[in-house]
Amino acid sequence: MRRTDTITGHSDRMRIGPWRGDPALALLSPTPGAPPSPEALHRAVVSIADAGYRSVLTPALTFPEQPVFLDYGFSVHERLHLLRHELFNLPSATAPHTHLRRGRSRDIEAVLNLDGLAFDGFWRFDLNGFLDARHATPRSRFRVACMNNCVVGYHITGVARRLGYLQRLAVHPDFHGRGIGTALIGDALGWCRRRGCESVLVNTQEINERAHLLYRHLGFTDEPNGLAVLDFTFAKSDGS
């Protein structure tokens, strides 16, 4: 089966690749804040079908990004909380006994192991998912939190236009409650403000009440419409 990681169109930029390494499931990622035209979406879906995938997932899409996909025939796979921070009163980017630094290539294995402990099977990152988060926006920041030279948390944050996206935040479960998540969020928000962002968005599963409460405690507020991951399954041919 042919795998593709192409970018389609020009103003309608979308990336295509396998979801978490699954050769039957494609991830179709539009540029954040810029939903594709119906024509560009159709070209992308045809390309995915030609590549042999059986179904398609989108990343978490905002309410204004969803209609073109729903009109095409996509369905809601899972709804998520969407929260916004207006970049006032930023939390501290430090935590006791913790050092934040730039993430490096040699950290990726430890980060993926940590991510697998922090998220369930559907949501945890493999290398493709990690790289997709790094390249989802024109600019991004990858930072790790270390204790005794061991990676115990990380974030990936991106900027597109004047909007920031906290793409990923994970803390090793053994180190919850030590301010590491708060420090990583503070680092992400500060970086976005320095890059001229007006606000920052983050999403979390509706069942992840711990993360939802942390974000609200740090000044995020719930957006009224939330987010949704959408999916599309190709009809089986008569010979399948």
Q: What is the pLDDT of residues 65-87, one digit of tens each?
A: 999 999 999 999 999 999 999 99
The residue-averaged pLDDT of 202-216 equals: 93
The answer to whether residues 134 and 142 touch, using CB atoms and an 8 Å cutoff, is yes
Angstrom distance (rounded) from CA 164 to CA 85: 9
> How would residue 144 be classed by pLDDT, with cut points 50, 70 and 90?
very high
Helix spans in 5-163 (H):
38-50, 67-72, 108-118, 127-134
Q: pTM (2 decimals)?
A: 0.81
Share of the chain above pLDDT 70, in %: 94
- For residue 137, give both structure tokens: 């926006």
Q: Which CATH number fits domain 7-80+226-233: 3.40.50.720, 3.40.50.150, 3.40.630.30, 3.30.1280.10?
A: 3.40.630.30
Give residue 240's pLDDT: 45
CATH architecture of the domain formed by 87-197: 3-Layer(aba) Sandwich (3.40)
Which residue type, as a one-letter code, is found at position 19? W
Which residue type, as a one-letter code, is found at position 229? V
| Backbone conformation region of residue 139, classed left if phi is above 0, alpha if psi is from -120 to 50, else beta | beta
How is the chain split into domains, by residue range?
Answer: 7-80+226-233, 87-197
Domains 7-80+226-233 and 87-197 fall in the same CATH topology: yes
Q: What is the pLDDT of residues 21-74, one digit of tens each?
A: 788 999 998 887 788 999 999 999 999 999 999 999 998 898 899 999 999 999
> How would residue 9 be classed by pLDDT, with cut points 50, 70 and 90?
low
Q: What is the pLDDT of residues 165-208, one digit of tens each?
A: 999 999 999 999 999 999 999 999 999 999 999 999 999 998 89
